[in-house]
């Protein structure tokens, strides 16, 4: 399979290494330093795009691929206010667009545990929920896309919670889930969900030890997406 990498930072490099180790060819490695090289890419020589760039580049990168009929696997966070237009374009072009805030299999299991726990907490009103996420200092967006996905999972399953807020930026209210974002090197990613009451504290967490799990997940999805159509997610890939 021929993979075009749009975004070749730390994650892109690891994705490229894993892809090559699994027998795939890299059709190109595009970042801000060689962006003009994208015009030289022959779409017929690309089977799938893996897009891990920056929030300001994601929409243009994804649009480029979808308009040329190339399936896209995207993991860039911080741009999702434009997601509806990308999904609309995917449908119009009968393309394939796969997005996940986190490609780690372990994290996606954690998402489901988070949702199930929120449902259980509905049986009592004595707990207050909070989220903490810790990433390396080079991560530009806060809170992380993973933390937002966790918050959305809670909101969908826990009565009385309707939104989330980043601590220190807005005043809290009883309907909003506080998310604390910390940037500490060399942390690749830790997410902690805490339910606290006067009686006890209940906590679940996921800690990544490296970026390898994220990168491998993206390559596995790229292998899977061939001949697929539509707007897809990890729920489709993992059959949750």
Query: At 21, which CATH number?
Result: 3.40.50.720
Measuring CA to CA, which residue among 90, 93, 56 is closest to residue 73?
Answer: 90
Per-residue pLDDT tens digits for 92-139 = 999 999 999 899 999 999 999 999 999 999 888 789 999 999 999 988
The Cα 233–Cα 93 span in angstroms is 18
Statement to judge: residues 35 and 63 lie in one domain: yes
Statement to judge: residues 16 and 60 lie in one domain: yes
Local structure of residue 27 (DSSP, 8 states): E
- Per the CB < 8 A criterion, the answer to whether 195 and 114 are in contact is no
Domain count, the chain: 2
Q: What is the pLDDT of residue 240?
A: 61
Average confidence (pLDDT) over 12-30:
97
Average confidence (pLDDT) over 50-59:
94
Active-site amino acid positions: 135, 139
Statement to judge: residues 170 and 83 lie in one domain: no
Per-residue pLDDT tens digits for 164-192 = 999 987 667 889 999 999 999 988 899 99
Q: What is the pLDDT of residue 78?
A: 86
> Does pTM surpass 0.85?
no
The residue range of the domain holding 174 is 105-207
- Provide the mean pLDDT of the chain: 94
- Per the CB < 8 A criterion, the answer to whether 60 and 14 are in contact is no
Q: What is the pLDDT of residue 157?
A: 95
Average confidence (pLDDT) over 196-212:
94
Statement to judge: residues 30 and 84 lie in one domain: yes
Residue 1: pLDDT above 80?
yes
């Amino acid at each position: 399979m021929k993979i075009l990498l749009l975004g070749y930072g730390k994650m892109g490099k690891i994705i490229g290494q894993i892809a090559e180790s699994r027998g795939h060819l890299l059709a190109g490695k595009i970042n801000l330093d060689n962006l003009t090289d994208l015009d030289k890419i022959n779409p017929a020589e690309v089977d799938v795009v893996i897009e891990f760039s920056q929030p300001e580049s994601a929409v243009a990168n994804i649009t480029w691929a979808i308009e040329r009929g190339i399936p896209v696997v995207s993991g860039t966070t911080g741009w999702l206010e434009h997601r509806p237009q990308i999904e609309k374009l995917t449908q119009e072009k009968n393309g394939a667009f796969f997005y996940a805030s986190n490609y780690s299999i372990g994290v996606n299991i954690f998402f489901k545990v988070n949702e199930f726990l929120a449902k259980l907490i509905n049986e009592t009103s004595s707990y207050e929920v909070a989220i903490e996420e810790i990433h390396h200092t080079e991560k530009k967006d806060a809170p992380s896309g993973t933390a937002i996905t966790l918050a959305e999972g809670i909101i969908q399953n826990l009565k009385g919670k309707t939104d989330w807020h980043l601590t220190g930026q807005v005043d809290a209210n009883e309907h909003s889930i506080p998310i604390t974002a910390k940037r500490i090197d060399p942390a690749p990613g830790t997410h902690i969900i805490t339910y606290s009451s006067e009686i006890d504290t209940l906590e679940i967490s996921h800690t990544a030890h490296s970026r390898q799990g994220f990168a491998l997940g993206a390559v596995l999805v790229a292998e899977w997406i061939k001949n697929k159509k539509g707007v897809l997610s990890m729920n489709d890939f993992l059959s949750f």
